[in-house]
Amino acid sequence: MTEQDNQPPAHPSFVVALWFWLKLGFISFGGPAGQIAIMHQELVERRRWISERRFLHALNFCMLLPGPEAQQLAIYLGWLLHRNRGGIVAGVLFVLPSLFILITLSWLYIAFGEQPLVAGLFYGIKPAVTAIVLQACQRIGSRALKNNWLWGISAAAFVGIFALELPFPLIVIGAALIGFIGGRLAPRVFALSSVHTGKQKDYGPALIGDHSPPPAHARFSWPRLCGLLLVGALLWLLPMGLLCALFGWDGSLTQMAWFFTKAALLTFGGAYAVLPYVYQGAVGHYGWLTPTQMIDGLALGETTPGPLIMVVAFVGFVGAYVQPLFGPDSAFAGAALAAGLVTWFTFLPSFLFILGGGPLVESTHNDLKFTAPLTAITAAVVGVILNLALFFAYHVFWPQGFAGSFEWPAALISLAALIALLQFRRGVIEVLLCSAVLGLLIRLY
């Protein structure tokens, strides 16, 4: 280690940090795990803006919250470095490139989705998405289902959403209640350790080190918290009130705003956990999308940077494009507006959670622990994601229903993708690209 490595780095200017967050918005592929790994490599290992312990401390807090944990972590670190403006810039730039890319891809999908070339690509991508969801179920389940009680909660959640068609919010509330009671009667059953454990490496002195006191703006203040909550309420109420005034409570945009506000508050367990809720509402209740379009939207979300929950932009765009708000001649403008609005209402709570809760987290550097209710919710999410995988498999393998023919080429692509993901540990983007090529070859030849 050189003499320079023995000294903490200089505090980055706001402009330097801004360019980093913009770069991150364009390279943040790989889902939450990949995005968090990129931030760890850049901020902890290479730049040493924050120590590993403080990084994981912040991440553990973000994992406790509803919403996309990688984006919330970016907000937290941006806020820690450059106050509220740093957090806002980091969070906005984390999703903005993805929003513009998805609006473009959504329009191309609507305009050219029936063309043989595009249809062939999606023929291969959709079974790969089914495999990706199954992999997510396995990955989360292997981490969350540590005993028979948690397996039981997961099985009950699956039966509840698959057989009884219970709404996702009811399943979340029920699991949280079981965890709350069980955490008191059998705390060892519902006690999980910190999100990230293990020996931490030393990358040299960090700008924000293990023993660095919280900066002045990171100290808790009741007036500051109340002011932040007031601003947050206005940022939600003003656009919602305007939508109600222009389109009424039952208008498509108003209902999208309300629906995705609820989704933002129920995404415990990451994007895959909220996807069942989105398809229940967007496909089953409101009819904004068809089941096939929902699968295609998830495929597009997997291939773009940013949090996977950005699939909500696709939902908003397609839902508003198919039913033009401002007439057929302005279908794109209305769809782009809808995509922007649902993104606003989906991510607004994340900024409030971090900017409001960050000072409370900085008041202690002890590792945060999963609460018993969250442990139970995570177990339930595994069953819900399994139901989502079966939902996708049904519509991909039997596109005309069980009475129609079985798409064995799609099933083989899905099996090959699952083996590549689980056995050979191939990346999601790589699997999607290979599956797309296979689908194109099958449809064209």
Task: Note whether residue 256 is domain-resident.
Answer: yes
User: pLDDT tens digit string along 327-365?
Assistant: 788 899 999 999 999 999 999 999 999 999 988 888 765
Query: How many structural domains comprise the chain?
Result: 1
Task: Kindly state whether residue 149 falls inside one of the protein's structural domains.
Answer: yes
Greatest alpha-carbon span in the chain = 72
Interval 171-186: pLDDT, tens: 888 998 998 898 888 8
Residue 397 lies in a domain: yes
- Residue 426 forms part of a structural domain: yes
Q: Is residue 376 part of a domain?
A: yes
Give buried/exposed letters for 320-351 (b at 16+ CB in 10 A, else e). Answer: bbeeebeeeeebbebbbbbbbbbbbbbbbbbb
Q: Is residue 25 part of a domain?
A: no
Q: What is the mean pLDDT of the chain?
A: 86
The residue-averaged pLDDT of 298-325 equals: 87
For residues 297 and 210, the model is more confident at: 297
Domain carrying residue 297: 96-195+225-444
Q: Is residue 5 part of a domain?
A: no
Using the predicted structure, report yes or no on whether residue 440 has a pLDDT greater than 80.
Answer: yes
Query: Which of 105-109, 274-278, 385-389 bottoms out in mean pLDDT, i.e. has the lowest?
Result: 274-278
Amino acid 196: pLDDT: 46
Q: Is 269 left (phi over 0), alpha (psi -120 to 50) or beta?
A: left
Are residues 9 and 48 in contact, defined by beta-carbon separation less than 8 angstroms?
yes
Torsions phi, psi of 186, nearest 5? Answer: -140, 70
Pick the closest to residue 102 from 351, 395, 307 (CA basis): 307
Higher pLDDT, 128 or 369: 128
pLDDT band at 52 (very low <50, low <70, confident <90, very high): confident
Cα separation, 331 vs 123, whole angstroms: 27
Q: Which two tokens stand for residue 105?
A: 């891809």
Residue 80 has pLDDT above 60, yes or no: yes
Give me the DSSP letters along 179-192.
HHHHHHH-TTTS--
Least confident of 25-39, 184-198, 205-219, 383-397: 184-198
pLDDT at 371: 61
Q: What is the pLDDT of residues 251-260, one digit of tens each?
A: 999 999 999 9
The string of pLDDT tens digits covering residues 134-157 is 888 888 788 778 889 999 999 999
User: Does residue 267 fall inside a structural domain?
Assistant: yes
Q: Which residues contact 140 (CB under 8 A, 6 or more apart)?
A: 269, 270, 272, 378, 381, 382, 385
Single pTM value for the model: 0.81
CA–CA separation, 378 and 353 (whole Å): 20
pLDDT value at 199 more than 70: no
